Amino acid sequence: MIWFPYTQMKTMKEPLTVVDAKGVYLYTEDNHKLIDTTASWWSKIHGYNNPHMNKAIIDQVNKFSHVMLGGIKHKPVMELSKKLESMLPGTLNNTFFSDSGSVAVEIAIKMAIQFFINKKKPRNKIMSLKNSYHGDTFKAMEIGDDGDYHNIFSGGQNTVLTDTTIEDLEINFKNHGDSLAAFIVEPLLQGAGGMKVYDVSFLKRARELCDEYEVIFIYDEIATGFGRTGNRFVSDLVEPDIVCLGKALTGGYLGHAVTVANDKVFEGFYGDDQDLAFMHGPTFMANALTCAAALKSIELFEQNDYLGKIKNIQTIAKRELSDLCDDRIADIRILGGMFCIEVKEEDTLKGFSEFAYEKEVYSRPFLKYLYATPPYIITEDELVHIINVYKEWFSKK
């Protein structure tokens, strides 16, 4: 039996069976052709069955699919490391590979804590945002604040939470700054915490405070990286010390992630003493297939004006949602390649997935949030159709 994620198996509805996928569409066993509004949890930025992505992976598998990175390297990982170094700002030059976003976050936290141990000035506290989500592994859950997913694991005694006001941020740094190893954020856009959006001025002030208190500033750009906020990376606006990338890194084809540290962090591990070394090594880190997929995905992103496509998604969403007004709606948020309708009561969205399915749209709202993070290749007609389904839902009830 398949044990499905984020659901009570006893009461779960029968999942859809997908038999094919192409572009923005999922084709089901019962002959539905559905626009995928989630891009498979934000990752399928090029859509499904992209021929260029397919070829890159096939070409690599015909050479070899995987060799361990321990004591061995290969062309795809060398090229990907160089490419990321050239794309990321400042001295974000040191790329540590892993196989999922949660693990990339674990690695970042481990780096930050060991950085201070190596300096013989141990710090053990981590600050994160209220309503934050950083993955489902243990430390990622502990530093998060998402009670809907991790209520029995989050909020450890060494976790400090701040909201996204500069006033609260400054108070928390004043109270805890000297004991903080790191401050981790989902920059500009908090995903699973409710598609919450905040201003770049918060990140600018956080950067100043991290410098003042010598705290490692970490960006979890697993979801926001590669354009989702309308920026290539939020790191381009305000530079962190460590950035985690995943999801769209491989165009959603294969699980892969990276934790990229700046030179200051890297140098804290560099020396003749083996005890300074970073002792971590996922089996499938820098897998050759995933590196080949990532290289091709980045190439497509850069050559096909994806930032222009994302801007167009935002423009269309703002236009089409401008006249949606309903007493049950608490807020409508639009940022880059994401738009979200937050309702006041969860029951307002009860049955929406089934309604959308009949209208040839795949949607997976959660709690009070009806959202879309579509593939960037989506057309205007397809976007308008999605939003019209939203509007019809509110008009019929």
Distance of alpha carbon 373 from alpha carbon 53, whole angstroms? 20
36, 146, 220, 241: the active-site residue: 220
36, 44, 48, 133: the active-site residue: 133
Give strand pairing partners of 339.
Answer: 334, 372
Q: Annotated catalytic, 371? A: no
- Other CB atoms within a 10 A radius of the CB of residue 70 amount to 9
Beta strands per DSSP E along the chain: 18-22, 25-28, 33-36, 92-98, 125-129, 159-162, 180-185, 189-190, 196-197, 216-220, 242-245, 257-262, 329-335, 338-343, 361-362, 369-372
The answer to whether 328 and 154 are in contact (CB under 8 A) is no
What would the two tokens of residue 372 be? 């879309």
CA 293 → CA 67, 264, 381, distances in Å? 16, 30, 29
DSSP notation for 221-275 = -TTTTTTTTSSS-GGGTS--SEEEE-GGGGTTSS--EEEEEEHHHHHTT-SS-GG
Q: Annotated catalytic, 362? A: no
- Other CB atoms within a 10 A radius of the CB of residue 96 amount to 25
Q: Annotated catalytic, 6? A: yes
44, 247, 296, 368: the active-site residue: 247
Distance of alpha carbon 135 from alpha carbon 137, whole angstroms? 6
Q: Annotated catalytic, 220? A: yes
Give the amino acid at 139: K
The answer to whether 145 and 128 are in contact (CB under 8 A) is yes
How far does CA 248 lie from the centroid of its chain?
8
Q: At a CB cut-off of 8 Å and minimum separation 6, what does 360 contact? A: 32, 33, 34, 35, 385
The answer to whether 219 and 59 are in contact (CB under 8 A) is no
Instruction: Give the sheet arrangement for strand 338-343, strand by strand.
Output: 329-335, 338-343, 369-372
The answer to whether 140 and 155 are in contact (CB under 8 A) is no
Report the SS3 class of residue 8. coil
Catalytic residues: 6, 133, 220, 247
